[in-house]
Amino acid sequence: MKKICFAVLVLLMSRLCAQGQTVTFSQRGGFYENSFAIELSCGGAYQIRYTTNGSTPNAGSTLYEEPLLLGPALYSTSDIYTIQISPDNLVYVPDSVSHCIVIRAAAFTPNGSCVSPVVTNTYLIGSLGCDTHGLAVVSICADSLDLFDYNTGIFVPGVNYDPSNPDHTGNYYQHGSDWERPINVEFYEPDDNSGINQKCGLRTHGNMSRRWPAKGMKIYAREQYGKKRFKHNFFNDPILDSYKHLVIKPLSVGWSDSGIQNFICHKLSRQIGVTSSDSRPVIVFLNGEYWGVYFLHEKMDERFLEDHYQIDINNTNIIESWHGTVDCGDNFNFLQMMSWFEQKDLSNPDNYIHACSLIDIDNFIDYYVFETFIGNYDWPHNNMRCWQEGNDKWRWIFFDGDACLDAPNFDVFANATVYNPPTTWANYPEAKLLFKKLLKNEEFRAMFRARAIEMCDNYFGYENTSSVYNLIVDMLSDNIDGQSHRFGQPSSMDSWEHGNNIINTFLYHRVDNYLAALDEFLNNMDINEVHPWEQLDAFPSPTTGNINVVIANKTDSSLELKMYDITGRIAYSQWIDTTTIQENDLISFDPHLPSGVYVLEMGGLKQKIIIQK
């Protein structure tokens, strides 16, 4: 009996000691110019087994027997890029992808029991063609079933996909902790290989980016994975060097083939003090396969506010729509505020004073000047977020500039004030309420105009905005061919440069155009009712394909006609030579688009068009 007890004790002690084992790599992951051999070691008489396709090692994985030469023989052969992870109309599969080398290893007993944590290292070897042209790398490793299984995979249409509603269903649209998957994430700076290497949680992120092949992602540091935070100064912040949550956003979700609008807008917004996340471009590898150009962002949630404003997250409300959709806390105070604004006349000085006790008026003005300056087409009806701590004043956050810096003739002030159902795009009255009400107050109008002029003089001049533009163009230009080959977005280097030129032209003329539009708006507006959008005269709708458009404005010799799909992506465009067309004449065209809801835009005017085939 004593011998049996002693044997059990020895076995238990052996397992406890074994659980403290760790596989050691002779060289950590990161950027290296030339190949070399990696040695793996582990104390005790244990076997080391490893994988090269990103999956967790198990008892059947390859047995480590000699140093591993970092070369193409260690590339993953899983070809996960060939797996369909989008609806049929969005599928894009390249003929090949480039690779980095990922080794995941753990210690096992001879009978196959894992007795150590899994250790992961990613190697980016320049002589093998793994060149990110100066961009940092995010390497994500996850078990294939967690990403691609029909029932549990968070990257696939899967069991939750409804073919009758392809744009808004699928496993990738699921939310919450049930759809968070454990991964290993590595981040490496290109100059010194500093960064992170840790386990964390992964979820999908965004709207349209969930169903596109280049998935939007967010990662969560949690104690259950081993580390509570991502400890690295990702954004060269003089104060903040650790983060709870991060977003990894694809270049390809921009509303044009450029994809740099969001980066530019976030950098400019931070210069003027509007709350927004920091951002930087990175290259993503998934299980050793090249996954394209992304932007790493701070996640705009209560942890972001806690880090930057030292708030009590248990006493903070974050609202993410004018309807009062709650991201954190509750919406009681917000709905009360909206109800008060709806009932009150803000031309009354007493009411305006009370309004200034409800919202941070300086923040609100800065936020609205910025959103209108950048010409955000996907706002204010969408992408609104505001917050308060306790019963403090409401303050606004800028995020998502994907639909900006594109249309100089877009009537941004009508967009921010006019509710004109049912033809205007994604329009509802609550989205116009606060700004429209505040404009009735003379003091507010004067403050808004003065602040707009100040921002244009100090921040929005082309000398400043072009520096941000040139920065991101220079950072990305050498990586666009690889991105285009991997995802088909942008379609080519020429297409990317064309999209960039549109942004550059917008920025070059924007201050003059914006201030002229502001003066016209403030001088001619009816404070009791702002005049509605001028609409395109386009018909029929629904249509089987052919569309007629009345040319009602010939101030320009040529106009670009665009059609946006429901995701906001340009689905069709052409230039119209108006010198050959009489005013109020028709042009007819067939965009050859599939059935769906689209927005037709020309000369800053727009109209919804339904195609039914």
Give the CB-side neighbour count of residue 420, counting CA atoms within 13 A: 18
What is the Cα–Cα distance from 442 to 440, expressed in whole angstroms?
Answer: 6
Question: Which residue's structure tokens are 């067939």?
Answer: 590
Q: Give the distance from CA 304 to its chain's centroid.
A: 16
pLDDT in tens, 445-471: 999 999 999 999 999 999 999 999 999
pLDDT at 560: 80
Q: Give the distance from CA 247 to its chain's centroid.
A: 7
For β-strands 538-539 and 385-389, DSSP reports them as unpaired
pLDDT in tens, 50-107: 999 999 999 999 999 999 999 999 999 999 999 999 999 999 999 999 999 999 999 9
- Number of residues in the chain: 613
What is the Cα–Cα distance from 196 to 199, expressed in whole angstroms?
Answer: 10
> Please, what is the Cα angle at 345 between 342 and 349, to 5 degrees?
135
Q: Which residues pair with 282 in a beta bridge?
A: 136, 294
pTM of the model: 0.83
pLDDT at 530: 39
For β-strands 40-41 and 37-38, DSSP reports them as unpaired
pLDDT in tens, 560-607: 888 877 555 678 888 887 777 665 577 888 988 887 767 787 766 767
- The predicted model gives 187-214 an average pLDDT of 94
What is the Cα–Cα distance from 246 to 217, expressed in whole angstroms?
Answer: 9
531 confidence band (pLDDT: 50, 70, 90): very low
pLDDT at 13: 34
